[in-house]
């Protein structure tokens, strides 16, 4: 019974809204009114279907289809609901008050049959209510369900649209995440460089002074001081390597272009660098680009037997493009232990792309594409 009342109410509201949609169709083609009208009907349809109301779709091509369906279903179904409701109310008044009508104009029920007594009033009233109930039970829920399904299908985003919106949202928020990640990397690097590393240097200096101040110390003490001194220096070396692999200090000091100039200048093969206008790049992207170029040039020097390499770094919209090309023997493969797997892992962590072209005989071209929206 509750479903019948819900369906009747849904169709009764669809009648005026369908008529208003047809009359105001030109106005509803504007973005703001269309969105508001879509939200209203999506909430109604979602409430009827007992689901969460989705946001309206941004696609305009679905709007005319929904307006047509709303008018074709909403107006006739709403009129039918209004007719049934009106007749039910008339029966509720005419049956108990048949005697109050004029004798020459008695109430008429069930296809214009005149009510002339209590018997005919009760029989005809119940018969008409049964017919109305059958129409309501048989037609209203399917009509309301059809209207609600079409509304949700044509005014709400599809699964593909929701996925695209989610990807777009993640793309927008990724810049902030990368900035926060880069700031955290810089903070850790600074703390290690200025704090932990400085303390290790001070300890190493004190141990060196202690060794010099105790030339005649017992062998056991001298050996302990030597081990402590050497262990401290090894710890400093390892710490510098950690700092360099985590976030190279040269990036913080000179930026990506300056850091790459230093890498190219210190490469084991003659190399040229071409850096375009990069704009603002998140620190995490700078670090991956720096490591990619460093590892690629290391591979060139160790494995390619090349005499020359070229490094090009440019920006195209929200993508950073890094290309390392050499004139070596080619045949580079990620399965060959050349460091390409490490590059791919770093690039994939930022949802980037690595492409390696290295036919036998060369040349080898390593291309890295990184998102750098800011």
**Per-residue model confidence (pLDDT) at position 368:** 93
> Has residue 170 got a pLDDT over 60?
yes
> Has residue 131 got a pLDDT over 80?
no
> Has residue 185 got a pLDDT over 80?
no
* Residue percentage of the chain with pLDDT more than 70: 78
Angle at 319 between CA 316 and CA 325, to 5 degrees: 80
Q: Which residue has the tokens 């932990």?
A: 196
Q: Which residue has the tokens 């091509």?
A: 61
Work out the pLDDT band at 312, boundaries 50, 70, 90. very high
Work out the pLDDT band at 105, boundaries 50, 70, 90. low
**Per-residue model confidence (pLDDT) at position 313:** 93
Work out the pLDDT band at 369, boundaries 50, 70, 90. very high
pTM above 0.75, yes or no: no
**Per-residue model confidence (pLDDT) at position 311:** 92
> Has residue 103 got a pLDDT over 70?
no
Average the pLDDT over 87-113 and give the result: 65
C-alpha distance across the termini of the chain, in Å: 57
Q: Supply the DSSP string of 35-85, one letter for each residue.
A: HHHHHHHHHHHHHHHTSPPPPPP--STHHHHHHHHHHHHHHHHHHHHHHHH
Q: How many CB atoms lie within 10 A of CB 13?
A: 15
Written as six digits, the tokens of 360 are 């036998």
- Contact indicator for 338, 314 with CB cutoff of 8 Å: no
State the CATH class of domain 254-371.
Answer: alpha beta
Q: What count of Cα atoms within 13 Å lies in the side-chain half-sphere of residue 241?
A: 6
**Per-residue model confidence (pLDDT) at position 86:** 74
More confident residue, 113 or 250: 250
Q: Which residue has the tokens 């017992």?
A: 218
Average the pLDDT over 211-215 and give the result: 74
Mean pLDDT of the chain: 78
């Amino acid at each position: 019974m509750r479903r019948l009342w819900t369906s009747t109410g849904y169709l009764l509201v669809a009648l005026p809204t369908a008529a208003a949609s047809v009359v105001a169709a030109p106005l509803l083609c504007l973005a703001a009114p269309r969105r508001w009208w879509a939200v209203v009907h999506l909430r109604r349809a979602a409430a009827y279907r007992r689901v969460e109301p989705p946001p309206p779709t941004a696609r305009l091509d679905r709007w005319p289809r929904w307006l047509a369906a709303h008018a074709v279903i909403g107006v006739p179904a709403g009129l039918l609901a209004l007719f049934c409701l009106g007749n039910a109310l008339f029966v509720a008044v005419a049956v108990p008050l048949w005697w109050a009508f004029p004798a020459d104009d008695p109430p008429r029920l069930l296809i214009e049959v005149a009510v002339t007594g209590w018997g005919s009033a009760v029989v005809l009233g119940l018969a008409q209510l049964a017919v109305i109930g059958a129409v309501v039970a048989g037609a209203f829920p399917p009509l309301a369900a059809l209207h609600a399904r079409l509304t949700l299908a044509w005014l709400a985003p599809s699964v593909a649209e929701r996925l695209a919106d989610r990807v777009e949202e993640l793309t927008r928020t990724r810049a902030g995440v990368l900035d926060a990640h880069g700031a955290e990397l810089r903070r850790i690097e600074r703390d290690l460089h200025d704090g932990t590393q400085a303390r290790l240097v001070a300890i190493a200096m004190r141990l060196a002074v202690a060794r010099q101040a105790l030339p005649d110390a017992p062998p056991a003490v001298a050996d302990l001081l030597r081990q402590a001194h050497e262990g401290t220096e090894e710890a400093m070396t390892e710490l510098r390597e950690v700092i360099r692999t985590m976030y190279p200090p040269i990036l913080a000091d000179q930026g990506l272009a300056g850091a790459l100039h230093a890498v190219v200048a210190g490469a084991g093969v003659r190399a040229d660098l071409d850096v375009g206008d990069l704009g603002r790049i998140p620190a995490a992207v700078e670090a991956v680009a720096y490591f990619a170029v460093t590892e690629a040039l290391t591979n060139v020097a160790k494995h390619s037997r090349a005499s020359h390499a070229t490094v090009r770094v440019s920006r195209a919209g929200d993508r950073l493009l890094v290309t390392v090309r050499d004139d070596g023997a080619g045949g580079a493969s990620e399965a060959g232990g050349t460091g390409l797997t490490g590059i791919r892992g770093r690039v994939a962590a930022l949802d980037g792309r690595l492409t390696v072209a290295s036919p036998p005989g060369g040349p080898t071209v390593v291309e890295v594409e990184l998102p750098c929206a800011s």
